[in-house]
Chains A and B, each alone.
Chain A
């Protein structure tokens, strides 16, 4: 019999919940907030059926703490929220980064700052996703542009968090979260799933933060006969606090190295009509849908324009953008914020080509004609 495939019509939020379950997520903690609540609602229904845990916490600080605890206990865990809740999560996202605890945080972006625009889309948390918690830290951030891709990137978010022992942030926006689209649900058995590497050392030799070549220390759960310590304080390989400048430097350097040296695996872009493009658009999330449309319109009039769509926002796709130096003469970066990623694009290009920004922060999505109009030529 041919591989069984199911077609479902889902919203991005529903696809996110389904993707998480397919990835093996069995612990969800969260606090309701528009436009993300459907993620929680689906999981409240599904998780107990699968023997997993759903718990609504008292706030987003608690939600983040609970998923870290669950992950340390050996369960793949996640939470979902939107702007105001994402702000509250920053403290413990920093803990997850420092203590290298795999977990997935979904932020369905809405307009801010503050309570802002609860029901309208934005892409203004891109920098917060990178730098929201205090201190230098490594992080991985993904941004899907369709419902189907939300399923795929949610699975990927779990895989990356398990593989690199780091929190992974999945940035949806209100449009992706709420739009209905067809998704082909593959048999979960056919998905590639990565589970954290467990130590091969016996308990008395286990170092929870061992300096391995990959930069990722093997990880065992609490209650498995390995009694170890986890702290948000700077620590050495054994996990205990240290004041040694050498040890602290070595640890923080490793946190960055484990992501940086894997950047070719982590960073994904989707080039669309870029082969001969002289004008490049860099876009992500729902804005990339409009950008695709604008590229098609412009191609009909003979303009050599293409879209370099970012699936991974952080680490930033600087090398991928630089690979077009010489070919692409100018760039356009449309985004529903005041230029957060345009800045990165400019930085990557270092003045080698001009970058035009197209920004909108009033809750209105950026439409294809708006992008089309500013395509030169």
Chain B
């Protein structure tokens, strides 16, 4: 049995998360990934925005920072640029990262700064009670989309890919083993790394959209997702309504802080 306790601030329990929320599975996968990598807790800095998912930073025994809504990546950028030896991991929700924080999100990816982002996509604003998010699928209901969402949803991973991230992967809480491995690879990869995790919110999304029990919602992930390898063999029609999981991008690209260090070093050489 894996021992999570040494990574948790158990005195801060119980968690604020509802029973049946997917976020706990992501939390445990993150801890296992960090443990496998053998990172010292003192060298991990975890930064979050505002939302249910962003409350995670209060529960883990690292250097932790719970910032303002949508701004986690800006604080994280300051930390990474000022103290590059820290492993900076950002925890954010779909609304946090792509609505109010959308600008910071694409710019952090463009800079390809060495930050790992774990983006909890539950298709909804959980914390504030189920308002529509830029990631709510078209037609789905939210408290502020009572007749169904009439807008298009963002492809979060696609955004990071297009903006220049080194590593982009999509995962589910259904496949927690894969999730853990993808988080591990994301942390290892230098540059901006994103793991978009589909994490069900039974309370604010599932109930309103008649998605069944929390277990139903997790099992449903198995039906709606296909792996990158399987997707390659499928036609566009077959892929309709499917979500592709696995590694979407994994490339070596110049990293922001290292490029800046070259500049600093060039002056040092000049003497």
A positions within 8 Å CB-CB of B = 26-27, 29, 48-49, 51, 53, 55, 57-59, 61-75, 77, 91-92, 95, 221-225, 227-233, 240-241
Q: Are B103 and A58 touching (Cβ within 8 A)?
A: yes
- Given A65-B75, A69-B76, check contact A59 B103 (CB 8 Å): yes
Question: Complex: how many Å from CA A68 to CA B78?
Answer: 7
A-B interface, 3 closest residue pairs, ranked by CB to CB distance from nearest:
A69-B78, A65-B74, A66-B78
Q: Say whether B66 faces chain A, with CB atoms less than 8 Å apart.
A: yes
User: Which of B41, B43, B81, B104 meets A62, CB within 8 Å?
Assistant: B104
Q: Determine which residue in B63, B73, B78 has the highest number of CB atoms from chain A within 10 A of its CB, and name it.
A: B78
- Given A53-B260, A230-B65, check contact A62 B107 (CB 8 Å): yes
Q: Can you report 8 residue pairs joining A to B where beta carbons are below 8 Å apart? A: A27-B81, A48-B267, A51-B268, A55-B260, A66-B77, A69-B79, A228-B63, A240-B12
Question: Complex: how many Å from CA A58 to CA B67?
Answer: 18
Q: Are B68 and A65 touching (Cβ within 8 A)?
A: yes
Q: Say whether B187 faces chain A, with CB atoms less than 8 Å apart.
A: no
Other 14 A-B pairs with CB < 8 A, given A92-B74, A229-B58: A48-B264, A58-B104, A62-B71, A62-B103, A66-B81, A69-B75, A70-B79, A72-B78, A73-B45, A222-B63, A222-B79, A228-B63, A228-B64, A240-B9
Question: Complex: how many Å from CA A308 to CA B45?
Answer: 48
Q: Which residues of B contact A71 (CB under 8 A)?
A: 78
Q: Are B81 and A92 touching (Cβ within 8 A)?
A: no
Q: Are A240 and B58 touching (Cβ within 8 A)?
A: yes
Shortest B254–chain A CB gap in Å is 16
CB-nearest residue of chain A to B70: A61
Q: Are A61 and B74 touching (Cβ within 8 A)?
A: yes
Q: Say whether B263 faces chain A, with CB atoms less than 8 Å apart.
A: yes
Q: Which residues of A contact B80 (CB under 8 A)?
A: 69
CB-nearest residue of chain A to B48: A231
Q: Which residues of B contact A65 (CB under 8 A)?
A: 67-68, 71, 73-75, 77-78, 104
Shortest B16–chain A CB gap in Å is 9
Q: Are B62 and A227 touching (Cβ within 8 A)?
A: yes
Question: Complex: how many Å from CA A343 to CA B63?
Answer: 44
Q: Are B81 and A70 touching (Cβ within 8 A)?
A: yes
Q: Say whether B225 faces chain A, with CB atoms less than 8 Å apart.
A: no
Q: Say whether B118 faces chain A, with CB atoms less than 8 Å apart.
A: no
Q: Are B81 and A222 touching (Cβ within 8 A)?
A: no
Q: Are B58 and A231 touching (Cβ within 8 A)?
A: yes
Question: Complex: how many Å from CA A64 to CA B65?
Answer: 15
Q: Are A69 and B47 touching (Cβ within 8 A)?
A: yes
Q: Are A61 and B71 touching (Cβ within 8 A)?
A: yes
Shortest B212–chain A CB gap in Å is 33
Q: Say whether B223 faces chain A, with CB atoms less than 8 Å apart.
A: no
